[in-house]
Chain A
Amino acid sequence: MKTILTYAALLGSLTFASADWRQFRGPNGNGVVNDPALPTQLDVKNIQWAIDLPGRGLSSPIIVGDRVYLTAASGPKQDRLHVLCFSAKDGKKLWERQFRATGRTMAHEKTAVAAPTPVSDGERIFAFFSSNDVLCLDLDGNLLWLRGLTHDYPNASNSLGMSSSLTVADGVLITMVENDSESFTAGLDAKTGVNRWKLARPKMANWTSPVLLEVKGQPTLAILQSGKGISAVEPKTGRIVWEYGDGASTIPSATPSDGVLYVPSKGVTALEPSSDGTTPKQLWRNGQFAPATASAVILNQKVFTLNGAGVLSAGDAKDGARLWQLRLKGPFSATPVGSGTHLYCVNEKGVLQVVDTAAPQGAVVSELDLGKVILSTPSIDGGAVYVRSDGKLWKLGKS
């Protein structure tokens, strides 16, 4: 019995450790994990630690093993770029590296230079900033390579700020540098940072992030979204496998779930990729789900979006039928994250609201006011929610 319990405990810990939260919106890029240890009744006693940050940022923390990695930017022009590593256990800073922006750092006051969320392949941390500086370090903070994408391509910038997060697949780091001028997405070699490919993209400002679409029996595709629609590309080569051209938002990003892509296009449009790489099949479209800033979340076969008034809409992920609506305390910039039947929605005023999506009309089951402006999407790992503001990082777990 003891042996079984030991194995069970080990298995449990391995499940958490192997999951990690290595990129924007989690392991599957859709903001959802199954973390039964996550508390749903949040109050101040759940704040396991809170630490001050050396600079501004909207990027989400990522978690690899027992470490939390985060970016920030400091200085009057936010041109000091920080990559930080903390112990998940107690928030102790384990290391910090600083760099200088080599590209422009001008940004709208509501965003920040450290807006894109870093990504990890489990061996390395890749950090990205609005200045289009890309930094690659090992988990202990040793610098492996760096790039200055505006340094290399001088008109690649957005005077309002860039915010596309990173993703990594097949040894290639996907960097979306899409803007009104020198607009492109590049696949950088994860080991050396050199260009594997560089794809010209629509000349239009774009703040969405790439996601990976996993379909059983098919190669992983990187999904690039723009105002024109979706381009699904091979991560290794940048070859466009299929496209969807009916337009899409330039702020909330597409959400992959169970081989279906939920695109913020004319509300939400659900696309099912075909097996032969041709144009995907449209499963459904519902204009009632138009998201504002936050991306859609798919949890337990339900699709959730937040509109500009802070109303959470729930729909059936299979056919797009609206199920219920719940007015939350908004407005929201952060995308909700979820586990089990609960969504964690933090509004711009810093009020984290936990929604039980299994309740007939949805129900807010707890609230925690963190008292700071929060525009950043939370992260989940090891029974805890991590939330950052411009100046603070919190870990919220079992009290």
Chain B
Amino acid sequence: MEKFVTKKIMKSRLLKSVLFAGLLVAPVLVHAASLSRSLDTIRAVGPEGKGNAEAAAAWKTVSAADSGEIVTILKAMNGANDLAANWLRSAVDTIAARELDADKKLPVAALQKYLADTKNDPSARRLAYEIIARADPATGEKLISGMLEDPGSELRRDAVQRRIDAALAVRKAGNSNDAAQRLQFVLPSARDAEQLESIAKELKQLGQPVDLPKVFGWVWDWKVIGPFDSTGGVGFDKVYPPEEKIDLAAEYDGKTGKVRWQDFSASGDRGLVDLNKPCGALKGVAGYAYTEFNSDSKRPVEIRLGCKNAWKVWLNGKFLFGRDEYHRGMEIDQYRLAGELKKGKNVILVKICQNEQTEQWTKEWEFQLRVTDPLGAVVASAKK
């Protein structure tokens, strides 16, 4: 009887324990499920405000999550579109700020693990790094110093900048040879155009000029044809024969007479293809530049263009993007067009239109172009 009673009591206690444990675990599971649903809702946002109303409610759940969930939210940024990433980023920011304001600890170890996995989204990894650096500046500094070859452009840029600053400090202290060695060391790691130009400038002053066109990887050799008519801007939309078929032996009616393809090379440190030279310094005109680019494999790339004229770009006959803006400025990597190289010969066609403005600063009819991998490393044309 006693045994039975004891057993019954034990059973009852066990049941209570299980129930109690269940009560403890259930909210956690519910919260985890709720967080997961909310992350899915945010990841579903799209163009023109699609999903905004639902995302606002989901954002409240996500931003109220415990700091232990930050890595879960960062993981949701992997593969998220830019709009969803912004929703998630601001939720992470909110959680981190709240915890830091309350002098609570952030999950630095888990964030470090997330950061170390370079398969994670580069901008989410950057966010993880920034939270680490805020929570533990010494660890942040140690981490960034080792990111010279990081695939994330911002992390790499900061690591490169620290090396540049260190080299300049050595130079200032009078050790030019050491400074030059340090700059030569960091040069291959740099991807950012401003940093590359800054390193090149310093090395030139130190008597070690850099082959900047090679460093930037400008596509150098082109066939060009023009001028075609673009009076009143009509040339931007008008389809001239090179857009229909590339025939390098053909001759066409141009704006000022017959036109045919001619060899032309880029020039200068910034790899400019100046159509005013082969086609005449004209206004209200359009021209084309064509090049063949060999790849030893099928691979995703970015066609990176700088241009202050209206332009269109095709890769292997596929239209990538075009823009009809004139003389508002040009910079390296101004436009980054995602494309895919096929194995073997690829063809790049660029259309450049010049308008009819007469001011001195509207004379340029030129572009610069390079091919990089999606992270900014130069992809050079392979040998045939």
Contacts and interface: CB of A to CB of B under 8 A. Distances in A.
Given A148-B82, A195-B49, A97 B94 contact: yes
B334 A100 contact: no
| Size class of the B contact interface (CB-based, 8 Å) | 35 or more
Interface stretch (A151-159, A280-288, A324-332, A335-343): A151-159
A147 B56 CA distance: 13
Contacts of A104: 334
13 contacts: A76-B194, A97-B94, A98-B93, A99-B86, A99-B89, A142-B94, A145-B49, A145-B52, A145-B55, A147-B49, A157-B325, A189-B49, A193-B52
Interface in B141-156: 154
B263 to A, nearest CB: 30
Contacts of A106: 329, 331, 334
A153 to B, nearest CB: 9
B83 A148 contact: yes
Contacts of A98: 89-90, 93
B56 A143 contact: yes
B43 interface: no
Given A76-B157, A141-B94, A192-B53, A158 B86 contact: no
B9 to A, nearest CB: 51
A69 to B, nearest CB: 15
Q: How many of chain A's residues touch chain B, expressed as a range? A: 35 or more
A47 interface: no
A140 to B, nearest CB: 10
B49 A142 contact: no
A44 interface: no
Contacts of B326: 180
B113 interface: no
A111 B15 CA distance: 69
Interface of A: 75-76, 95-100, 102, 104, 106, 108, 133, 141-148, 151-152, 154-155, 157-160, 179-181, 188-189, 191-195, 203, 205
A100 B86 CA distance: 6
A-B pairs with the 8 shortest C-beta distances? A194-B49, A159-B328, A145-B52, A159-B329, A102-B82, A193-B49, A180-B325, A152-B47
Query: At the interface, is chain A mostly helix, strand, loop or mixed?
Result: loop
A100 B89 contact: yes
B48 interface: yes
Nearest to A148: B83
Interface of B: 47-50, 52-53, 55-56, 59-60, 63, 82-83, 85-87, 89-91, 93-94, 97, 123, 154, 157, 192, 194, 308, 321, 323-326, 328-331, 334
B328 A205 contact: yes
A151 B83 contact: yes
A180 B49 contact: no
A159 B308 contact: yes
A98 B308 CA distance: 31
B328 A146 contact: no
Contacts of A179: 325
Contacts of B59: 142-143
User: Which residue, of A104, A106, A191, has the highest number of chain B Cβ atoms within 10 A?
Assistant: A106
Contacts of A189: 49
Nearest to B50: A194
Nearest to B321: A154
Contacts of A75: 154
B331 A192 contact: no
Contacts of B82: 100, 102, 148, 151
Nearest to B56: A144
